Chain A
Amino acid sequence: MATLEINDLHVTVDAEGGPREILKGVDLTVKQGETHAIMGPNGSGKSTLAYSLAGHPKYTVTGGTVTLDGEDVLAMTVDERARAGVFLAMQYPVEVPGVSVSNFLRTSATAIRGEAPKLRTWVKEVKETMENLQIDPAFAERNVNEGFSGGEKKRHEILQLELLKPHIAILDETDSGLDVDALRIVSEGVNRVRETGTVGTLLITHYTRILRYIKPDFVHVFAQGRIAESGGAELADKLENEGYEAYVKGGVTA
């Protein structure tokens, strides 16, 4: 059973006037089959956590550990982390000129699975997953994220999530910028993956709206670079009513 363990994680980012600490000791354990919502105000460090786990070079880990089933994630390169089963659905997916979606998906699936998927079953698999996410088949021939609308980019991220079947899925504000229809479609995609029971989900969001579609087992409030409070789904209701004010104004320690 896959388990992601984050212990006392400290992360800095280079800023004018030297490195600035964004994550100040994050502790979190995500097990296969569980869904954890990480909620927090802007600038609290939620996205930094997501990108640090995926290994983005912009962030420097200065302390703490991250392990996946005991393996040191921080020692892995970005692609090794992905192959180990960590998936990050990005808030701002990047345009990649010259690479078609179909070529990208197949190359990625080949890398993650360790062998090229059989063409016939692969074509079917992609087609069905795209239909479920209401993605136009013509998408396959477009360049990755090039000229995609905000909603198309997010659906493309979830398409990858469904095809790559990670052990740990980190969804970084996948709900942001989506209208209600798109939010529902994307959430259904996430739920299909969750229902397999083989993925631990880290759902990072600013809003409670997505939690109406994706029910979390745990809710964590992120503030000032660490988890300020943890609870069950009911904590989201409290945030819905009271907002983040209590956490932003400070004084709250976990």
Chain B
Amino acid sequence: MAEAQNSPAPAGSTTTGAIAVAAESGVATRNSAAPSYDVGDFPVPHGREEEWRFTPLERLRGLHDGSAVADGGVRTEVTAPAGVTQETVGRDDPRVGRAGVPADRVAAQAYSAFEKASVITVPKETVLGEPIRIAVHGQGGVAYAHQVIELGAFAEAVVVLDHTGEAVIAGNVDFLVGDGAKLTVVSVQDWDEKAVHVAQHNARLGRDASFKSVVVTFGGDVVRLQPRVEYAGPGGDAQLFGLYFTDEGQHQEHRLFVDHNTPHCKSNVAYKGALQGDDAHAVWIGDVLIRAAAEGTDTYEMNRNLVLTDGARVDSVPNLEIETGEIAGAGHASATGRFDDEQLFYLMARGIPEVEARRLVVRGFFAELVQQIGLPDVEERLLAKIETELEASV
């Protein structure tokens, strides 16, 4: 296991990564405690643990140490087309927690603290023409949430998880994707500036299932998301895309884990972020584990960052761990580039005004991922958001 660089550089970026060929997994075991549903199995983090070393614990508003008490200040509205079932269930419902186990203290805290879970079901062979929209609007409160989205065999659905407002929220979102089913999830973190959002997304893919996740993060004080994928049968295909725009003072952390535990599955990870302003901090951790049993795996992960101003910081750490040589392909890439005064001069020397020059660079940078969203209203909102952020900075 290579250690990622963690120097306290005030500006710029660190980009480091590792490909390890190991008999025993470090990716799966390097966290301070094994995954567990019980918050009591995790000590309160002090900040030096592998899974917490980039996160400003003092800004988590007590989500990590048990001092944040739920007060229900979050409103959730679900809009779903006909054929979709919505239920509110108790903790003992068998569907709850089946897609994955909480991997860190806050996810376990959320799992231990939520009262009722929301379960949305798309019956087998149902193909939805309209997306399911889940609007989570913070009203200044603290909340622990659990959301389950289940697709029966050969069902097809698009789900938009839209987070706005002010909240301190920790949650787990489970995606149970049935055999041959296709699920696209777009999770938008468009929080107001003081919000704290820590969540684990667990996807469990059935045989020949397809899962596409598009994470779009621009708001909040601290956003820390952990999209995780595992495969329940061969032929699963996971595509994990992400876009983030990290502004002055914001901490945005995306920690991915794809657990190739089953033969002949695919994964493709592509995350891109732009940063501007003092103390803008983006963290991207891309863990991919190809277990000994997972012959025929095909995986690629990529992270790119565009640093628009001084004072921003990126930590980008891809980790690819391979326990079998019988794979179709495996690779990773990480790069961080700067948009600097010389680039600005070059574009302006061709008649392009400053604001437009920045817009051009950022839009171009995000273009390939924006196209992956596939929902015009979300795409337009994202582009408008980027414009606003850029104009505010000039």
Contacts and interface: CB of A to CB of B under 8 A. Distances in A.
B337 interface: yes
Contact of A79 (B337, B342, B352, B363): B352
A103 B364 contact: yes
Given A83-B351, A111-B353, A164-B351, A103 B360 contact: yes
A205 interface: no
Contacts of B356: 107, 111
B337 A97 contact: yes
A104 interface: yes
Nearest to A85: B351
Interface in A77-121: 77-79, 81-83, 87-88, 90, 93-100, 103-104, 107-108, 111-112
Interface string B121-144: 000000000000000000000000
Contact of A108 (B351, B362, B367): B351
A78 B339 CA distance: 17
Interface hub of B337, B351, B354 (most chain A Cβ within 10 A): B351
A57 B366 CA distance: 28
A164 B353 CA distance: 16
Contact of B349 (A54, A97, A99, A103): A54
Contact of B339 (A79, A97, A112, A164): A97
A57 B341 contact: yes
B361 A79 contact: no
Nearest to B350: A108
B160 interface: no
A160 interface: yes
B347 interface: yes
Contacts of A88: 349
A78 B352 CA distance: 9
Interface in B265-323: 306
Dominant secondary structure of chain A at its interface with chain B: mixed
Contact of B350 (A56, A77, A104): A104
Nearest to B272: A98
Contacts of B354: 77, 79
B365 interface: yes
A108 B352 contact: yes
A55 B344 CA distance: 12
Given A107-B360, A112-B351, 8 more contacts: A79-B352, A82-B350, A87-B349, A96-B347, A99-B364, A104-B350, A111-B352, A111-B353
Interface string A210-252: 0000000000000000000000000000000000000000000
A78 B364 contact: no
Given A104-B350, A107-B352, A96 B345 contact: no
Given A79-B351, A82-B350, A98 B361 contact: yes
Interface of B: 306, 337, 339, 341-343, 345-354, 356, 360-367
Nearest to A166: B351
A146 B349 CA distance: 18
Contact of B360 (A79, A99, A112, A160): A99
Given A57-B345, A107-B356, A111-B356, A97 B365 contact: yes
Contact of B364 (A54, A94, A98, A164): A98
B306 A112 contact: no
Given A107-B356, A111-B356, A98 B349 contact: no
Interface of A: 54-57, 77-79, 81-83, 87-88, 90, 93-100, 103-104, 107-108, 111-112, 143-144, 160, 164
Nearest to A145: B346
B390 to A, nearest CB: 13
A100 B364 contact: yes
A104 to B, nearest CB: 7
Given A96-B343, A104-B360, A78 B349 contact: yes
Nearest to B352: A111
Given A56-B345, A94-B342, A97-B337, A160 B361 contact: no
B121 to A, nearest CB: 41
Interface hub of A79, A95, A104 (most chain B Cβ within 10 A): A79
Nearest to A84: B351
Contact of A94 (B346, B353, B367): B346
Contacts of B342: 94
A227 to B, nearest CB: 24
Contact of A90 (B346, B360, B363): B346
A203 B306 CA distance: 35
Contacts of B362: 98
Contact of A112 (B346, B350, B361): B350
A77 B386 CA distance: 25
Contacts of A97: 306, 337, 339, 361, 365
A98 B351 contact: no
A54 B342 CA distance: 13
Contacts of A78: 345, 348-349
A81 B351 CA distance: 7
A112 B347 CA distance: 12
Nearest to A163: B350
Contacts of B361: 96-99
B351 A82 contact: yes
B110 to A, nearest CB: 36
Contacts of A93: 346
B84 to A, nearest CB: 38
Nearest to B346: A94
Contacts of A87: 349
B310 to A, nearest CB: 15
A77 B348 contact: yes
B160 to A, nearest CB: 26
B346 A79 contact: no
Nearest to B366: A98
Kindly list the 7 A-B residue pairs having the minimum CB-CB distance in the complex, ordered from nearest.
A98-B365, A111-B351, A82-B351, A98-B364, A78-B348, A108-B350, A94-B346
